[in-house]
Amino acid sequence: MTNRRDFLKITSATAAASIAASSSLFAQDAPPAGEKFVIGLMGAGSRGTQVAGTFASLPNVFVKYVCDVDAGHAAACAKAIGKKAAANDNTPAPTPIRDFHQILDDKEVVAMAVTTPDHWHAPAAILCLKAGKHIYVEKPCCHNPHEGELLVAAQKKYNRVVQHGSQRRSYPKNIEAMAKLREGIIGTVRFSRGWYTANRPSIGKGKAVPVPANLDWTLWQGPAPEREYHDNYVPYNWHWFWDWGTGECGNNGIHSLDLCRWGLGVDCPQKVTSSGGRYYFDDDWQTPDTQFVTFDFGDKVIQWEGRSCSPRGVENNNTGFGAAFYGDKGTLIIDGGSYIVYDLKNKEIARVKGPNPDAPHMQNFIDAAKANDQSKLNAPIAEGYASVLLCHLANISQRTGRTIHMDTQAKKIKGDGEAEKLWTREYRPGWEPSL
């Protein structure tokens, strides 16, 4: 088991080595033509296994490690990915490990996929950047705005490619839909709406129990404050606790909000207002299960609706996910990788079906990493953070109970000391992320 002292010792050594070396000296700058692109993965749960499997299915890619603080997750993921890799091109199965520092020290590994719980996303990505790795980081890229700022700055400082897991930016028909919006298919667009709905059950009232033998609870918590282990935290319910998760808005709302912001061509809102709460069950769930947020950009508006326990969709959409754009000549609705266009009389004028694969987004990352060119990415980390910031502002408004006003140039909260305290978080002493 890795204790805090060992963690800090390894982290300090890695950081020192990365700062001292020029990025051009790293062995993982780019594999020569024909050689495998070698990647490691941190966080081997359900989403991590999906991400690792997609990378393993791409040509000339070798997933060398899958890492998880739960030894059972790491072993199961390695077994599943080994089958995919063998079927693809006889690449060996990945090695399951518990501590991701083993990956940082391996110069053959050129990139890392970070698919952990939210509170580890930015701290892990920054450590990997310091070690010279390119990064694919799942959404949301940070647990709070401070971490997002650090991650964007780290990408520039260490000159590595960082792709955000906003894979819908690589769906072919989403790209097409955005082009048609720019061409004026529904005229001038001032309002967009995103939503996510589900039918999640209660998580109950948890109780303190011994940590399972297969789980390194200290490393799982990492930079978060030390808490005793409860039986309703993992493997998924951490999403609904502020110490580790970002609620439904950061969990799934990020995807529709990213589409909304992309389509409207907006950046930082002037003000953000959230309402809602935990309405459906009396349990330990801390984040809202019902949330309605308005993002005012001055001349344009985004509204997001989240209902974790009420699955009925919006705009005749019952998949639980969507983003709609309302123009002076009609409406365009994106549903996954497809879109529909209506005129002002609600007559359907186009219905375009498309796939929703992750592979193009990950291939885009690999291509950009091989060139070490951030400009080639479909979802560069600065764009990813700009959308994730909307989720954080929504949650800050929700937690303070009032509208958040922004300095849109500095991209900072203004005139609200209580809200500004939520810009960052309480860290376990000695585990604070830094450049």
Q: What is the mean pLDDT of the chain?
A: 92
Higher pLDDT, 319 or 402: 402
Q: Is the pLDDT of residue 5 over 50?
A: no
CB 242 within 8 A of CB 286: yes
Q: Is the pLDDT of residue 8 over 80?
A: no
Q: Is the pLDDT of residue 304 over 80?
A: yes
- Which CATH superfamily is 169-205+217-356+389-421 part of? Dihydrodipicolinate Reductase; domain 2 (3.30.360.10)
DSSP-derived secondary structure for 100-137: THHHHT-TT--EEEE-S-HHHHHHHHHHHHHTT-EEEE
Residue ranges per domain, the chain?
4-168+360-380, 169-205+217-356+389-421
Rounded Cα distance, 194 and 252, in Å? 11
Rounded Cα distance, 213 and 43, in Å? 18
Domain covering 4-168+360-380, topology: Rossmann fold (3.40.50)
Using 50, 70 and 90 to split pLDDT, how confident is the model at 91? confident
Higher pLDDT, 253 or 30: 253
- The residue whose two tokens read 């999403």 is 239
Q: Is the pLDDT of residue 111 over 70?
A: yes
Rounded Cα distance, 435 and 430, in Å? 14
Q: Is the pLDDT of residue 360 over 50?
A: yes
Residue-wise pLDDT for 137-195, tens only, equals: 999 999 999 999 999 999 999 999 999 999 999 999 999 999 999 999 999 999 999 99
Residue-wise pLDDT for 115-145, tens only, equals: 999 999 999 999 999 999 999 999 999 999 9
Q: What angle do CA 69, 85, 2 make, to 5 degrees?
A: 15
Interaxial angle between packed helices 145-158 and 118-130, expressed in degrees from 0 to 180 and rounded to the nearest 10: 20
Rounded Cα distance, 242 and 304, in Å? 20
Average confidence (pLDDT) over 273-295: 98
DSSP-derived secondary structure for 246-262: -HHIIIIIHHHHHHHHH
